[in-house]
A and B are shown apart, each in its own frame.
Chain A
């Protein structure tokens, strides 16, 4: 509860300090809005040309992609700014200052990284998701919407966990963001299209080696009735639990990294 109050105090301060940079504030948000608007446009162009991809039409692809993007953006607002770039905090010695305070490191990092630019992609995604939900009558049921909300929480936890793990890597290696760039950002790109279009091992890789498919593919397949089989359907239902487990794992890894930092310095 105290931490929540602290978080809002930080956000309040953030907006006050940002007030001087109003142009940057809106330009940053707009840039993100536009970037993802372009991506949705590319999907639309693809479906204009090929009607469906893997049997998914534009509004279904929107749900698939939008789920991934929305959960990423929400976790970005919460974690991204300071934790993903922990390597710079480590090299600049900012981490030591945080460690000298009587609060958990993760809590302080979350507080200090209000990722306002992600609001741009949240807005664009919510618009496209609303359109997709309005288009698809099969989604107009309370159970589905309830399931979807829970799945979103799971997706936020997986994305947040990934950000925390990439940040924690900087306790071991330099340039952790480049590793994150490949194994998180690039690999996750597989999941912007339905996984049934790829060779089988790709699906296995983004399910069991990296849990990125649990962010959007399995939940979206459940929601749209497009699970390939009963097993995939179960994975979709379990996705929120995977999120919780992955997030806890990331905290564990972060704690391990911090212990290493404390014994090795920088």
Chain B
């Protein structure tokens, strides 16, 4: 756990390496959220309640976007294509630790330097929500489960580097599917029924809509527990798959020499 923290610190420091990074990334997210709000402000110009909901939705989705956005695929793939994956097997640490540590460090840094200033700037738009510690906690649990899910998925894609020379196309395919089916851009509730059904069949459904609704709405207990359970099932399934892939990879490295 100690070395996990070390990786986290390094990633955090990297984020501050250039001051321009700090300015531009804050400015970027402020602008991005402003654009979304402006569009919804037009669409719901006659429906103040919907507008307030959508404004909060956009801001929270912005935070979640930073939360889920990490480089774990690139980290894994780079290790593999540079041949360092096999070398790292010598170290007494599971390589997943270093990948996830670095990735979480980047996430923490992005949350702290980008999302936090953004939320502060737009905080007047969040005042109308009925905050409660319980809601925040429930929402955070959902987001953390979501983060684990995202990391599992993107780590798996990273392992594709054993098969393909370039893997960015595959990461992009998943990224874009998430963008569409998770409600990151428009809430799933606006979708036609058949698409909502399709989204529910994927793990992406729980990434944005669920944590945001936990905060902004009063969901029935049955739905909350139901969603948690489905998320945990996804996590268990993907972990199992990752374990299998990892052992295959190690075996491959030992026999083929990376």
Task: Give chain A's interface residues, CB within 8 Å of chain B.
Answer: 21, 23-24, 27-28, 30-32, 34-35, 38, 41-42, 45-46, 48-50, 53-54, 173-175, 178-179, 181-182, 186-187, 189-190, 193, 197-199, 202
Contacts and interface: CB of A to CB of B under 8 A. Distances in A.
B39 interface: yes
Contact of B38 (A28, A181, A186, A197): A197
B21 A50 contact: no
Nearest to B171: A31
Interface in B23-71: 24-25, 27-28, 31-32, 35, 38-39, 42-43
A182 B177 CA distance: 24
Contact of B164 (A24, A35, A173, A198): A24
Given A27-B169, A178-B21, A181-B24, A35 B35 contact: no
B58 to A, nearest CB: 13
A50 B190 CA distance: 9
B164 A38 contact: no
B186 A45 contact: yes
A198 B41 CA distance: 8
A24 B32 CA distance: 31
Interface string B228-258: 0000000000000000000000000000000
A91 B43 CA distance: 46
Nearest to B164: A23
Contact of B18 (A31, A175, A181): A175
B136 interface: no
B88 interface: no
B26 to A, nearest CB: 9
Given A45-B191, A182-B27, A189-B32, A27 B164 contact: yes
Given A38-B179, A175-B20, A197 B39 contact: yes
Nearest to B170: A27
22 contacts: A27-B164, A27-B166, A28-B166, A28-B168, A31-B176, A34-B173, A34-B176, A35-B175, A38-B176, A41-B180, A42-B180, A45-B186, A46-B186, A50-B43, A53-B39, A175-B24, A178-B25, A179-B24, A186-B32, A189-B35, A198-B38, A199-B38
B166 to A, nearest CB: 4
A31 B21 contact: no
Size bracket of the B interface: 20 to 34
Interface of B: 18, 20-21, 24-25, 27-28, 31-32, 35, 38-39, 42-43, 164-166, 168-170, 172-173, 175-177, 179-180, 185-186, 190-192, 195
A172 B176 CA distance: 34
A31 B172 CA distance: 6
Does more than half of chain A's interface fall in helix, strand or loop, or is it mixed?
helix
Given A28-B169, A31-B169, A42-B186, A182 B38 contact: no
Contacts of B172: 31-32, 34-35
B129 to A, nearest CB: 24
Contacts of B175: 35
Contacts of B32: 186, 189
B169 A53 contact: no
Contacts of A35: 172, 175-176
Contacts of A202: 38
A38 B180 CA distance: 7
Nearest to B24: A178
Contacts of A182: 24, 27-28, 31
